[in-house]
Amino acid sequence: MLRFFAQDSRSTQAAPAAIVTRSTTDEHDARLIERVAGGDMSAFESLYRTYHPRLTRFLSLLTQRQPIVEESLNDTMLAVWRRAHTYNGQSKVSTWMFAIAYRTACKALRSQDLPVEDATDEQISDAPGPERQSAAREAQAALRRALAGLSDEQRHVIELTYFHELPYADIAQIMQCPVDTVKTRMFHGRRRLRALLTGEAGDWL
């Protein structure tokens, strides 16, 4: 179970190998987008294979309705194909694509007058026994109920931070708001979660 209320221990320093790997990946994605902008279908197919699972997981944080996830994924990739020439390199390709997916999913949910959901029910595996599994399920259920009590903005920031492991700068670009706004939403969201979970799931967090 994630510990939302421990001090945020994200380090600003990363291992050199990890930095090199991320840089290489970002450069590779940027080259693919450049080729896609030129109408290269093979580059688009490569980008699709790379981002299909990541975008599916990302969109599933916003809604558990599989038809909307699939529709939003398809609309996102169509937008990437049509708008690749607008990518200006000011953000990572992944952030640019997630921003398109976020806006696409929110638009789909609004058009059907559906609330944005949370998708925190992770499959339990490698648990030592049924009692631990039961306790984990109860903790997750308590967490889902508490997340449902947050505003959409607070819930999105928390989910993107802890379940998708995105940095604040990327979340700010995806949600089209300042980084300080993301930090404020995180602060108030965590405090609200603490209040909602007090006396219900405190033993698990």
Q: Mark whether 111 and 20 lie in a shared domain.
A: yes
Q: Kindly report the pTM of this predicted structure.
A: 0.65
> 25-34 contacts: CB < 8 A, separation 24 or more?
26/92, 26/93, 26/94, 29/92, 29/93, 29/94, 30/87, 30/89, 30/93, 32/93, 33/80, 33/84, 33/87, 33/93, 34/84
Q: Would 45 be classed as within a structural domain? A: yes
Q: Would 3 be classed as within a structural domain? A: no
Q: Which domain holds residue 37?
A: 15-115
pLDDT digits (tens, 9 = 90+) for 77-133: 999 999 999 999 888 899 999 999 999 988 888 777 655 554 444 443 444 555 655
Q: Mark whether 36 and 67 lie in a shared domain.
A: yes
Q: Would 199 be classed as within a structural domain? A: yes
**Residue 163: burial class (beta carbons within 10 Å; 0-12, 13-18, 19+):** middle
Q: What Rg do the C-alpha atoms of the chain give, in angstroms? A: 18
Out of 115, 150, 173, pick the residue that ends a domain.
115
The rounded percent of the chain whose pLDDT value lies above 90 is 37
At 200, list the tokens.
């219900």
Q: Would 124 be classed as within a structural domain? A: no
pLDDT at site 1 = 43
pLDDT at site 168 = 92
Which position has the token pair 């109408």? 39
Q: Mark whether 204 and 140 lie in a shared domain.
A: yes
**Cα angle value 171/61/87 (rounded, 5°):** 45
Q: Kindly give the parts of the chain with pLDDT less than 70.
A: 1-23, 113-140, 199-205
Q: Mark whether 105 and 153 lie in a shared domain.
A: no
Looking at residue 92, its amino acid is: K
Query: How many structural domains compose the chain?
Result: 2
Q: Mark whether 173 and 150 lie in a shared domain.
A: yes
pLDDT at site 117 = 52
**Cα 60 from Cα 57, distance rounded (Å):** 5
